[in-house]
Amino acid sequence: MALQKFAHIAGGLLPLLHEVQASLGHIPKDTVAAIASGMGLSRAEVHGVISFYHDFHDQPRGQTCIQVCRAEACQAMGSRVLEQHVKARLGIDYGGTTADGRFSLEPVYCLGNCACSPSVRIADKVYARVNAERFDTLLEDL
Amino acid sequence: MSNVSRIFIPSDTTACALGADAVADEVDVQARLRKLDVEIVRSGSRGAYWLEPLLEVETDGARVAFGPLAATDVEGLFDAGFPGSCEHDLCLGKVTDIEWLASQQRLTFARAGVADPLSLTAYKDQGGYAGLQKALEMSAADIVAAVTDSGLRGRGGAAFPTGIKWQTVLDEKAPQKYVVCNADEGDSGTFADRLLMEADPFQLLEGMTICGLAVGATQGYIYLRSEYPKALLVLNKAIATASEAGLLGDDIGASGQSFHIQVRVGAGAYICGEETSLLESLEGKRGLVRFKPPLPAIEGLFGKPTVVNNVLSLAAVTTVLARGPEYYQQFGSGRSRGTLTVQLAGNIRCGGLVEIAFGASLRELVEGFGGGTASGRPIGAIQVGGPLGAYLPASQWDTPLDYEALAGIGAMLGHGGIVVFDDSVDMQEQARFAFEFCALESCGKCTPCRIGPVCGMEIIDNIEKNIDREASFELLEDLCETMDSGSLCAMGGLTPMPVRSAVEHFPAHFERPAKD
């Protein structure tokens, strides 16, 4: 891991954590010490940052992350019903990963797609006007 | 066939979420099958999201639009003679004649959706970089004076006069200053920053560069939320293009002046849209809100004088410089000058981005532009200004949309997000959600915001269960008062706004059973 590159970037810890997570899928607890020494920080500081942000995970997740928007614009279009369906369909709650390791489910608060709610993000792609039926189709097409 | 038809299909997040990529693929397939010479340009979106995917074709110097178009419509479109003929049920006529777009007053979003967002030539052809050109011929003080004279106020939500902020940073003597663009657009119901970054990224880069020249900063950062992966790609490409063209770097426009921009990606924390939390995050720390003073303009990023402005504020500056402060100033009402970017969202028939002068009423926007609810039911409540904004009942929909008028009714304009709910909305549920969201997103630094929303949820649960109703409402108001006056920043301070408005304007929703 090119820790050196980030140690010289002002405020480089977030970019570094993003890169670790992008390559490993999560930020394993046993990388914290190396990150801390590479960045000239304490382990507590690094752990503090990882635990502060919703995006960073210290446990492995599924191959594909599914986010359901829980914010107001999506609520106005039925996201509360959608999220119940998604949880039941995947058989997991928010924060969970399916037994086969394919999917993780996370809540998200706004994807900036609010004129065509409800919104779901699967990996880096956003889908608009998602209802239970459309969600099932999206899932089958993956 | 010698005449190449140019076909424009948006690459914007929402357009793609509605199937624009599939439409573009199918247009390509059909054109090949028929051996037609077409050029497909992936443009930005004009923000008329209810018409997306919106396809445009250039004919006789005008653009004719089709939408909303599904990939399955494309074959029929070609069968009907497209692109030579525009006879089709989904033909909307000339795009510039679409009433929804034509009746707007677009300054900042004038270019959105017209061309390939990453074409610097197209940007310049449409007036881009005229503002920077003028700024390069002006003194720093004159640039700041122009921004002050324009009456521009921060579009992120706080509405602080942009010129005064810039003047403060200009007046500071420091070896290093920064320009930080707040692109952590976290409010539900808002997407204007995203649309601008995806459709017209050079405008943001130009605005930031003008700001750098004005305050004496050589480094800019765009703090972009991680929920916007497409904007990240577009911005990084635009920065590379602008740098190659000498519009960023050590010698901007051969002036000898220097300005650099980097994009930094957030990590899913709503609180990082608060400017001091954002600065902490940019420094690589937990996004804890800072005490103010010192203001970021005096001690900001890495302790240096820093301008923190919203995407739309920085973008608006290009218009102010290119066309003069008087031009910008003539739009608006009262102390709210220029144009307002409203985002029509939620349960709305014709949702999207509307840019008009300040002063139109909420009703004109939601019923006029918005065409009422998507569900066809009556409107029940409208939340203006994001998750920390008030829920407005019908009696308040004639309020003109400007900063002061909304403050006058205990509401706020925020970043211009308008979320419409139909009459099936349960306002007790919405009030509880306001607390739930605050509990999730509070940075935890101050007690009212850390503990308050958890108590708030418990109180609302007690109200729902009819436990000590009178005492519960009293306690709820007491809690709102504490959060309002005792929180360190707007997160805890404004969470009472949606709660109080729900209780005040929708009392029947707090009488169980409310849902039937």
What's the pLDDT score for residue B416? Answer: 96
Reply yes or no on domain B120-329 having CATH 3.90.1150.10: no
- B17 to A76: CB separation less than 8 angstroms, yes or no: no
What's the pLDDT score for residue B513? Answer: 63
Residues 2-41 of A with CB under 8 A from B: 10-15, 17-18, 39
Q: Before B378, cis peptide (omega within 30)? A: no
Overall CATH class of domain A64-141: alpha beta
- From CA A65, how far away is CA B435, in angstroms rounded? 26
User: Residues B152, B338: contact at Cβ < 8 Å?
Assistant: yes
Q: Between chain A and chain B, how many beta carbons pairs sit less than 8 Å apart?
A: 157
Mean pLDDT value across residues A64-87: 98
What's the pLDDT score for residue A1? Answer: 57
- From CA A84, how far away is CA A90, in angstroms rounded? 10
Overall CATH class of domain B5-102: alpha beta
Chain A contact probe: residue of B177, B185, B227 with most A CBs at under 10 A: B227
**Chain B residues near residue A73 by CB distance under 8 angstroms:** 188-189, 345-346, 417, 419
Q: How confident is the model at residue A4 (pLDDT cuts 50, 70, 90)?
A: confident
CATH of domain B332-422: 3.10.20.600
- From CA A5, how far away is CA B317, in angstroms rounded? 35
- From CA B236, how far away is CA B58, in angstroms rounded? 29
Which bin fits B189, alpha (ψ -120 to 50), beta or left (φ > 0)?
left
CATH of domain B427-510: 1.20.1440.230
- B283 to A113: CB separation less than 8 angstroms, yes or no: no
Q: What ipTM is given for this predicted complex?
A: 0.97
What's the pLDDT score for residue B514? Answer: 45
Per-residue pLDDT of chain B (516 residues; tens, 9 = 90+): 447 899 999 999 999 999 999 999 999 999 999 999 999 999 999 999 999 999 999 988 899 999 999 999 999 999 999 999 889 999 999 999 999 999 999 999 999 999 999 999 999 999 999 999 999 999 999 999 999 999 999 999 899 999 999 999 999 999 999 999 999 999 999 999 999 999 999 999 999 999 999 999 999 999 999 999 999 999 999 999 999 999 999 999 999 999 999 999 999 999 999 999 999 999 999 999 999 999 999 999 999 999 999 999 999 999 999 999 999 999 998 899 999 999 999 999 999 999 999 999 999 999 999 999 999 999 999 999 999 999 999 999 999 999 999 999 999 999 999 999 999 999 999 999 999 999 999 999 999 999 999 999 999 999 999 999 999 999 999 999 999 999 999 999 999 999 999 999 999 999 976 444
Q: Before B496, cis peptide (omega within 30)? A: no
Percent of chain A with pLDDT over 70: 99
**Chain A residues near residue B264 by CB distance under 8 angstroms:** 11, 14-15
Of A15, A73, A128, the CB nearest to B188: A73
- From CA B297, how far away is CA B278, in angstroms rounded? 14
Of A17, A76, A124, the CB nearest to B346: A76
**Chain A residues near residue B342 by CB distance under 8 angstroms:** none
- B13 to A114: CB separation less than 8 angstroms, yes or no: no
Which residue ranges make up each domain of chain A?
Answer: 3-52, 64-141
**Which of B370, B377, B374, B376 is CA-nearest to residue B397?**
B370
**Could you give the 3-state DSSP secondary structure of residue B346?**
strand
- From CA B382, how far away is CA B346, in angstroms rounded? 9
What's the pLDDT score for residue B60? Answer: 84
Which residue ranges make up each domain of chain B?
Answer: 5-102, 120-329, 332-422, 427-510
